[in-house]
Structure 1
Amino acid sequence: MTWYLVRRTGLLVLSLAAAGVLVFTLLRLLPGDVAATIGGLRAEPERLAAIRADLGLDRPLVEQYASWLAGVARGDLGRSQLNGSSVGAELGRKLQVTGPLAAGGVVVALVVAVPLGTWAALRSRTAVGTGISALAQVGVAVPTLWLGLVLVLVFSVRLGWLPAQGFPVDGWADPGAAARALVLPCVALGLTEGAVLLRFVRSAVVGVLHADHLRTARATGLTRGRALWRHGFRNAALPVVSVLGLQLAALLVGAVVVERVFALPGVGSMLVADVGNRDLVKVQGEVFLLVAVVLVIGFLVDVAHRLIDPRLREPR
């Protein structure tokens, strides 16, 4: 297991390096110029050239990449080309919103998917199991944007239980107010992702219930539920963990939509604004951070597989 972790960590580092090259290169191919944003539409060519020189945009791309990579190695994602603010510091503030939002979405998705998916599998030939499966199909088809608007209409406009939009200016200084602001976004994000995960949980549990070792366990007198609990959940967890890793990556993408709907000052809103402003350094840091999170999730999923299934730890 130790040697596997060493090799897998080395592969993660190489993947991060390759991702950095791709992010840096592809962003340079996009149209737009931050110098034109700073100088304005009527800026003279000399003025634009001076701005580019001041920002270091006239340097060779290899030199720009080397400078950025050295900063990333030190934990410095650079400074905004528009206002000079630290990209890392601003991302840290935005992650105080996006991080709890994504975590809350995962919790909601698991609370919805695991018990309902297991119940649907155990009752697969009944009206209850069919109804849960049909409900999951509908949930997969529902756009997160539409669901968020419905939640606002019901729980904010009609009932007045929760705030419709925004996040406290002082952040988590008042944990109660901050948590209330994230309830509806987390539910909107978690329900749509939970519907997808529910289908995989049901499929995994149904497959395990028809396995030979579960039939043997039931032959000893155990009920289907107890046999599944004692002898089947670890096997069913393997595909679910894989899908959950993909869902975590999807949650980051879905968080961009949810942040726009609920006017949350998170990483998604920051990324959309910086793309519009052509602030290349900030966009570069934000995209690289999102890619790094996805790669780390993949790393953790692989490690979780090894911990769940002892057969994967056997020498080949």
Structure 2
Amino acid sequence: MKRMILRRIALFFVALLFISAIVFLALRVLPGDVAQVMAGLNAPDGKVEQLRRDLGLNKPLFIQYLEWIFGVFRGDFGISMLTGRSVASTIAMRASITFPLIFLGLLIALAIGIPLGCLQVLHSGKSLQGFLRFCAIAGGSVPALWGGMILIMIFGRG
């Protein structure tokens, strides 16, 4: 059992590295120059070259990937192409809003799910159990984005 768990964990990290390599390569192979976009379309060539050196874009792809991976392990996710700010600080700023929402959603799910589960057990074999099972499956099948929009339309008066 222990061996199987360790194997699954190892496969998880291998898959994570594989996916990160695919995403990294896809972002580098796409048309357009990151340095040109960050410097501006009308920026002089010297400024674009300097930005390429600063970002390490003039190095081979394999070296860029290794530097990025080791940076991720240190908590350095790089610089955002859109804002020019640290990606880690952007994630931290957004997490301060996201985690309370996740916690609140979990509390609401528990407050609704546990009583309905108990009610379903109490009425086992009756039509109410079938209805509650249908509601649970239907609720679990709704995509989160669509369900969120519906809840905003219902409760977001203003």
Taking structure 2 as the reference length, what is the TM-score of the superposition?
0.70
Give me the whole-angstrom Cα distance separating, in 2, the residues matched to 1:150 and 1:21: 37
Residue of structure 1 in register with 2:132 after alignment: 132
- Provide, for residues 52-103 of structure 1, a one-character-per-residue CA deviation record: whole Å limited to 9, x for no partner: 3332112012211222233233332233345542222221111111222222
- Helix, strand or coil for the counterpart of 1:89? helix
- Provide, for residues 9-29 of structure 1, a one-character-per-residue CA deviation record: whole Å limited to 9, x for no partner: x96477446524531343322
Residue identity matched to 1:76: D
Task: Provide closer, same or farther for how the CA distance between residues 138 and 22 of structure 1 changes in structure 2, counting only shifts above 3 A.
Answer: closer
Task: Provide closer, same or farther for how the CA distance between residues 135 and 115 of structure 1 changes in structure 2, counting only shifts above 3 A.
Answer: same
- Helix, strand or coil for the counterpart of 2:108? helix
Q: Is the 8 A contact 1:55 1:81 kept in 2?
A: no
Residue of structure 1 in register with 2:16 after alignment: 19
Residue of structure 1 in register with 2:101 after alignment: 101
Residue identity matched to 2:54: D
- Helix, strand or coil for the counterpart of 1:57? coil
- 1:228-239 counterparts in 2 under 5 A? none
Give me the whole-angstrom Cα distance separating, in 2, the residues matched to 1:11 and 1:143: 28
Residue identity matched to 1:152: I
Residue of structure 1 in register with 2:110 after alignment: 110
- Helix, strand or coil for the counterpart of 1:78? coil
Give me the whole-angstrom Cα distance separating, in 2, the residues matched to 1:46 and 1:130: 70
Residue of structure 2 in register with 1:57 after alignment: 57
Task: Provide closer, same or farther for how the CA distance between residues 84 and 111 of structure 1 changes in structure 2, counting only shifts above 3 A.
Answer: same
Residue of structure 1 in register with 2:144 after alignment: 144
Task: Provide closer, same or farther for how the CA distance between residues 128 and 93 of structure 1 changes in structure 2, counting only shifts above 3 A.
Answer: same
Taking structure 1 as the reference length, what is the TM-score of the superposition?
0.40
- Aligned pair count? 154
Task: Provide closer, same or farther for how the CA distance between residues 117 and 86 of structure 1 changes in structure 2, counting only shifts above 3 A.
Answer: same
Give me the whole-angstrom Cα distance separating, in 2, the residues matched to 1:92 and 1:103: 16
Residue identity matched to 2:74: R
- 1:218-229 counterparts in 2 under 5 A? none
Task: Provide closer, same or farther for how the CA distance between residues 154 and 16 of structure 1 changes in structure 2, counting only shifts above 3 A.
Answer: same
Alignment RMSD (CA, Å): 3.4
Give me the whole-angstrom Cα distance separating, in 2, the residues matched to 1:138 and 1:81: 40
Give me the whole-angstrom Cα distance separating, in 1, the residues matched to 2:13 and 2:89: 21
- Helix, strand or coil for the counterpart of 1:75? coil
Q: Is the 8 A contact 2:78 2:86 kept in 1?
A: yes
> Which stretches in structure 1 are left out of the alignment for 5+ residues?
161-316
> Which stretches in structure 2 are left out of the alignment for 5+ residues?
none
Between the aligned residues of both structures, percent identity stands at: 34
Residue of structure 2 in register with 1:28 after alignment: 25
Give me the whole-angstrom Cα distance separating, in 2, the residues matched to 1:142 and 1:61: 41
Residue identity matched to 1:111: A
Give me the whole-angstrom Cα distance separating, in 2, the residues matched to 1:83 and 1:151: 31
- Provide, for residues 263-302 of structure 1, a one-character-per-residue CA deviation record: whole Å limited to 9, x for no partner: xxxxxxxxxxxxxxxxxxxxxxxxxxxxxxxxxxxxxxxx
Q: Report the CA distance between 1:126 and its aligned residue.
A: 1.4
- Provide, for residues 119-172 of structure 1, a one-character-per-residue CA deviation record: whole Å limited to 9, x for no partner: 224423212212212222332344434433333333231xx6xxxxxxxxxxxx
